[in-house]
């Protein structure tokens, strides 16, 4: 019982290989059934046609030996198949009349009177025919179902033909033969097909299972290789077959997925490392300043300075945590934006008013140029964050006596926000990475220690907000001349937000 249960649990539900084997075998069984039926019907039709042809030839030979002279039939039996007068008039029960063997012949005159006949015709009381029953036809074919003296059923194929002389019928020839031999051939053929079918299906099942195993061998190899790849070694790739078949595309898909995972793990590791570093810096600063304050007594002014420094680092730490939470929500697609009509030019004007004091502290000229009225559909608070981060970024990377300008204009169905600065610029090799989280380059993203207040997430947040508004951000930069950030957002009538 346990063996049967284990076998059942192994076979059911059926795996893909067993399913393929089952369907291959079922399709082959259907093909054999249809082919066998077609062969059987074709063989039956061919044998019956050949049988009728043989009877027709026999009737033709016998017809040539029957003639009429002075309204009297003359029979010359050269073939030896015409029954004798003794056989015709003898008692049929005294003469073997097994119609399953040999040819049955009967000759009638035009009125249906028997001239010569084989004993089987009288033994089985086969009906006679007259020439009038043929009508316009001269040939009649019949299949008669009879029963022998032993009780066995017999089918007799009877071929009847009118013999004429210049269109006048004067005799009828009937030739018949049992169909038992034909049926025996058909039965034997059916038995052979039925006996061969199970062997063919068994061989087909085994062959199908083997072919399925061969077909799944490359997939097993892909599975084994994929199983060997873990998160610690995502540089491996599954081997691809030379043939560009389904297995090739499956392997290519797995390799693409592994490449995406490798990139995600790499970015995650770098993000965690950078986030840890960024979080450690303000915490270390807070701890250092408080430790110094606790080591020796300080006057009131010195305590105030320590508290201000701690407050500054705490604000920086809070900004960093808020930015990390915002990006985490964006990754999980849990950030909810409130879309409304936003005048981009008014947003820029408000941000410039706020940031002017910061620019003046660094002796940088901040100016709004060509603030065309542009109305977009979006989250006003997030769009303010975009403008603020870009302006703050431009001020931070521009040397004293530099210049930062902000422009708002319409181009087609897009509203453009352009922020230009005359800062140090960004090297070409760093441009593709500046919107990555915590990405830093010596000439592009580092700040002087005295002015370093950013978290390294500003441009990453800008990129996320712009993409969430179905927009696009690009940057152009030249070393020593400055950078230009361009944000493209769809206008209100062109935007499609849910």
Domain range list for the chain: 2-43+186-223, 76-178, 246-329, 337-494
Q: In terms of Cα–Cα distance, which of 460, 371, 464, 459 is closest to 415?
A: 371
pLDDT for res 154? 78
Q: In terms of Cα–Cα distance, which of 185, 194, 199, 187 is closest to 36?
A: 194
pLDDT for res 150? 64
3-state secondary structure of 421: strand
Q: 337-494: same fold as 76-178?
A: no
3-state secondary structure of 472: strand
pLDDT for res 448? 44
* pLDDT one-digit tens code per residue, 22-73: 888 888 889 988 988 998 899 888 988 888 888 888 888 888 888 887 778 7
pLDDT for res 278? 64
pLDDT for res 414? 93
Give the chain's largest Cα–Cα span.
Answer: 165
Q: Which fold has domain 76-178?
A: Beta-Lactamase (3.30.450)
Say if CB 232 and CB 198 are below 8 A apart: no
- As beta bridge partners, residue 476 has 484
63 vs 81: CA distance, rounded Å = 12
Compute CA distances 120 → 58, 98, 325, 359, whole Å.
Answer: 17, 7, 107, 129
Burial classification of residue 489, based on how many CB atoms lie within 10 Å of its CB (0-12 exposed, 13-18 middle, 19 or more buried)? buried
Q: In terms of Cα–Cα distance, which of 157, 204, 160 is closest to 181?
A: 157
Give the predicted TM-score (pTM) of the model. 0.48
**What is the tally of helices (H) and strands (E) in the chain?**
10, 14
pLDDT for res 450? 34
Tokens of 198: 């199970």
Helix (H) or strand (E) run with residue 489 in it? strand 482-490
126 vs 112: CA distance, rounded Å = 12
**How many other C-beta atoms lie within 10 A of the C-beta of residue 199?**
9
Q: What length is written for the chain?
A: 498
State phi, psi for 161 to the nearest 5 degrees.
-140, 135
75 vs 78: CA distance, rounded Å = 9
pLDDT for res 20? 80
Q: Which fold has domain 337-494?
A: Heat Shock Protein 90 (3.30.565)
pLDDT for res 455? 59
Tokens of 125: 């009381």
Compute CA distances 469 → 77, 361, 437, whole Å.
Answer: 110, 33, 20
Tokens of 377: 């559909």
29 vs 204: CA distance, rounded Å = 9
* pLDDT one-digit tens code per residue, 316-327: 777 777 767 776
Q: In terms of Cα–Cα distance, which of 311, 398, 395 is closest to 354?
A: 395
Say if CB 454 and CB 319 are below 8 A apart: no
Say if CB 219 and CB 250 are below 8 A apart: yes
pLDDT for res 2? 57
404 vs 106: CA distance, rounded Å = 125
Burial classification of residue 333, based on how many CB atoms lie within 10 Å of its CB (0-12 exposed, 13-18 middle, 19 or more buried)? exposed
471 vs 496: CA distance, rounded Å = 11
pLDDT for res 13? 63
pLDDT for res 452? 45
**Architecture of the 246-329 domain:** Orthogonal Bundle (1.10)
DSSP 423: S
Calculate the CA 371 to chain-centre distance. 53
Say if CB 404 and CB 391 are below 8 A apart: yes
89 vs 115: CA distance, rounded Å = 10
454 vs 452: CA distance, rounded Å = 6
Torsion angle of the four alpha carbons 147, 149, 152, 157, in this order, in degrees rounded to the nearest 10 = -40
220 vs 240: CA distance, rounded Å = 13
- As beta bridge partners, residue 189 has none
User: Pairing mode, if any, of strands 472-478 and 403-411?
Assistant: unpaired
Burial classification of residue 106, based on how many CB atoms lie within 10 Å of its CB (0-12 exposed, 13-18 middle, 19 or more buried)? buried
Say if CB 348 and CB 390 are below 8 A apart: no
pLDDT for res 80? 64
Q: Which residues of the chain have pLDDT under 50?
A: 85, 97, 442-453, 498
Q: In terms of Cα–Cα distance, which of 255, 281, 268 is closest to 327?
A: 268
């Amino acid at each position: 019982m346990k063996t049967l249960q284990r076998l059942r649990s192994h076979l059911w539900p059926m795996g893909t290989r067993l399913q393929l084997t089952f369907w291959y075998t079922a399709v082959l069984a259907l093909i054999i059934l249809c082919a066998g039926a077609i062969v059987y019907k074709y063989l039956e039709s061919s044998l019956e046609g050949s049988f009728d042809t043989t009877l027709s030839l026999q009737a033709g030979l016998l017809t040539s030996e029957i003639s009429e002279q002075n309204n009297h039939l003359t029979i010359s039996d050269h073939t030896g198949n015409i029954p004798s007068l003794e056989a015709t008039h003898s008692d049929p029960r005294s003469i073997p009349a097994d119609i399953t063997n040999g040819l049955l012949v009967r000759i009638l005159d035009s009125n249906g009177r028997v001239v010569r006949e084989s004993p089987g015709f009288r033994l089985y009381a086969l009906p006679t025919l007259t020439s009038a029953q043929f009508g316009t036809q001269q040939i009649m074919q019949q299949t008669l179902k009879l029963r022998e003296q032993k009780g066995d059923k017999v089918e007799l194929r009877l071929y009847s033909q009118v013999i004429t002389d210049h269109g006048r019928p004067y005799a009828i020839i009937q030739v018949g033969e049992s169909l038992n031999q034909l049926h025996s051939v058909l039965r034997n053929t059916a038995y052979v097909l039925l006996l061969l079918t199970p062997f063919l299906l068994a061989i087909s099942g085994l062959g199908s299972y083997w072919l399925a195993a061969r077909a799944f061998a490359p997939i097993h190899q892909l599975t084994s290789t994929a199983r060997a790849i873990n998160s610690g070694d995502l540089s491996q790739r599954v081997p691809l077959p030379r043939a560009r078949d389904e297995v090739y595309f499956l392997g290519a898909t797995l390799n693409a997925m592994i490449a995406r995972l490798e990139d995600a793990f790499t970015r995650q590791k770098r993000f965690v490392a950078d986030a840890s570093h960024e979080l450690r810096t303000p915490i270390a600063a807070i701890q250092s300043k408080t430790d110094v304050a606790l080591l020796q007594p300080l006057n009131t002014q010195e305590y105030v300075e320590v508290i201000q420094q701690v407050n500054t680092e705490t604000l920086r730490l809070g900004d960093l945590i808020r930015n990390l939470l915002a990006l985490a929500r964006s990754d999980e697609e849990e950030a909810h934006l409130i879309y409304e009509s936003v005048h981009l030019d008014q947003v820029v004007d408000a941000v410039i008013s706020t940031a002017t004091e910061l620019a003046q502290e660094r002796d940088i000229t901040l100016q709004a140029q060509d603030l065309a009225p542009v109305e977009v559909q979006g989250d006003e608070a997030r769009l303010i964050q975009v403008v603020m981060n870009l302006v703050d970024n431009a001020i931070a990377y521009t040397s004293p006596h530099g210049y930062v300008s902000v422009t708002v204009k319409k181009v087609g169905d897009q509203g453009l926000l352009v922020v230009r600065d005359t800062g140090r610029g960004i090297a070409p090799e760093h441009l593709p990475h500046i919107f990555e989280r915590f990405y830093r380059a010596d000439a592009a993203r580092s700040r002087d220690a005295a002015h370093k207040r950013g978290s390294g997430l500003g441009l990453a947040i800008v990129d996320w907000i712009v993409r969430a508004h179905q927009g696009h951000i690009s940057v152009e930069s030249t070393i020593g001349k400055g950078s230009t950030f361009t944000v493209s957002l769809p206008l209100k009538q062109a935007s499609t937000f849910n």
